[in-house]
Amino acid sequence: MKKTQLFVVATPIGNKKDLGQRAVEVLNSVDFIACEDCRTSKKLLDELGIETRLVSYHKFNEKQRTEEFLKEFEAGKTAALISDAGTPCISDPGRILVKELFENGVKITAIPGASAITAFLAQIPRESEQFAFFGFLPRVKNQQIEIFEKFSHIDFVFYEAANRLEETIKTIAQTRGENAKIAVGRELTKIHEETVCAKASEVLEYYKNHTLKGEVVVLLYAQKPEIGDDAEILEKIKKLKAANFTNKDISAIISTLDGVNKNKVYKMALEL
C-alpha cells in the first residue's frame, strides 16, 4: 500500500480540546504543514509543543504552492494541510491542492475532526437527514433569492458573516415569507456559543436585543407544502384587491398568514 504523503487535518473551530490525539501525532510527524495563516496556526502549534515547519497556503498562492508541494512529495516528503479553523476544503483553501495531488498519484488521508456544519446540525431539530450545503452565499441579493428558491425543497445550510446576517434573513423573509423557519448557530464550541431556531421574523426581532458577532452558520428549513390550493389563494387575492390592497401588500399578507411563497402570490395577483 502506498504511504500517505498528505494528511488533511481538521483543527478546532473554537475549543482547543476538540483536537484529537491522532491529529496531534500527525502534525508532529510530517515534514511540513501547509496552513492558511502561519501566525494563526503557530499559536495552536505552540500550545501543543509542535515545532513542525509551517508553509503558507491560501487562495492567493494555491497554484504556486501546489507545484512546489508536488516536488516535495516526489522527493518522498510528507505534509499536513490545515486551515485556520475547521476542516480544510470545506469553505476553506485546499480543494485545488487535493484535486491536483490526487490526479498526480499522491496518497491523501483525512484526519477528521471539528466542522461547523456537523456540529451545528447535531444540535438543532430536523425532520430529515437530507440537507444541501452551499458555503458562503453571494452578496448580490438577486443571486441569493435564486438560491433560496432553487433549494426550497430541502434543508439548506450556509455560512454568513455576522454583519450581513440581518440583511440575509430579510431576503429570506422576502423570498419565503416571514414565517420561514431558520436556525442560526453562532460561536460554536466557544464560550458564547448560541443557537436560535425560530421564524425569520422572530430571529430578526431576537437580534435587535442580542449580540450578533463571530462565526455564523445558518439552516433554512425546507419549505412545507403550501396551505390551500391555487383556487383558494386566488379567492383571497380577489377579496384583498377589492379592498384596494396593492399586489405587494397582498403577497405579504397571504405569505405571512398562510405560509404561501410570496413571489408566487405576487405573480398570481399580477395575472388577475
pLDDT in tens, 78-123: 999 999 999 999 999 999 999 999 999 999 999 999 999 999 999 9
For domain 6-114, is the CATH number 3.40.1010.10?
yes
| pLDDT at residue 1 in the model | 43
Which of 79, 78, 77, 93 lies closest to 40 in space, CA to CA?
93
Tell me, rounded to whole angstroms, the distance of Cα 69 from its chain centroid.
Answer: 29
CB-based contacts of 75: which residues, under 8 Å, 6+ apart? none
pTM: 0.79
pLDDT in tens, 211-222: 899 889 999 999
Q: In DSSP terms, which residues pair with 219 in a beta bridge?
A: 157, 183
Q: What is the pLDDT of residues 36-73, one digit of tens each?
A: 999 999 999 999 999 999 999 998 898 899 999 999 99
- What lies within 8 Å, CB to CB, of 156 at 6+ separation is 131, 132, 134, 147, 148, 219, 220, 222
Cβ neighbours, 10 Å, residue 233: 20
Say which residue, 139 or 271, is predicted with more confidence.
Answer: 139
Q: Please say whether the structural domain 117-220 has been given the CATH code 3.30.950.10.
A: yes
pLDDT tens-digit readout, 228-260? 568 888 888 998 988 999 999 998 888 888 777
- Quote the percentage of the chain above a pLDDT of 90: 75
